[in-house]
Amino acid sequence: MANVPSAEKRNRQRIKRRARNLQHIVPMRTRVKRARTTITNGKASTEEIQESVLTALRQLARAAAKGVIHKRTAARKISRLTLALNKSAVDRSAASSATPKKTVKHKAPAKTETKVVETKAPVKAPAKTSAKAAEVKAPAKAETKAPAKKATEDKTAAPKAPRAKK
């Protein structure tokens, strides 16, 4: 029993929160259980199984959206349910193909040739530059590089003077 007013308030909040969460948890659990039993039940049709799994998935997603269960928990449960559904579908198709069926011979459909026409996208020509623009650009580059070389030659030619000590 809580003795402090803040602990009493926390207790009241906990009770309200639990009642709110149970409204989502209980239907979610029952829908997941129903989906599992319909998957394992051999008598259920594929439509019934898919419908029950779909309602369970919706309920899990709703509970995760409301924050009742963690989103990764919901994702894990959804993944396991869909894997079980897919496995049961494969098992059912294997069981149905194992039963002997009447073989009916059909005529093979006539082969028709289809031509595949490939269309190529138009290739854009490179942008044409005028001769004047090319002439203007070339000397500008040469001028900027030339002084830099002269400056480095001047530095290497003249030895540095020693520093005076104080």
Could you report the per-residue pLDDT of 98-154, keeping only the tens digit for each? Answer: 665 566 666 666 666 666 555 666 666 656 555 555 455 555 554 555 555 555 555
Cα–chain-centroid distance for residue 54?
21
pLDDT for 98: 66
Place 26 in a pLDDT band, splitting at 50, 70 and 90.
very high
The burial of 165, by beta-carbon neighbours within 10 Å (0-12 exposed, 13-18 middle, 19 or more buried), is given as: exposed
CA–CA gap between residue 164 and residue 166 (Å, rounded): 7
Average pLDDT of every residue of the chain: 79
Give the mean pLDDT of 76-81.
Answer: 97
58-62, 126-130, 157-161, range with the lowest pLDDT: 126-130
Per residue in 3-21, pLDDT tens? 899 999 999 999 999 999 9
The dihedral formed by the CA atoms of 47, 51, 52 and 53, expressed in degrees to the nearest 10: 100
CA–CA gap between residue 84 and residue 91 (Å, rounded): 10
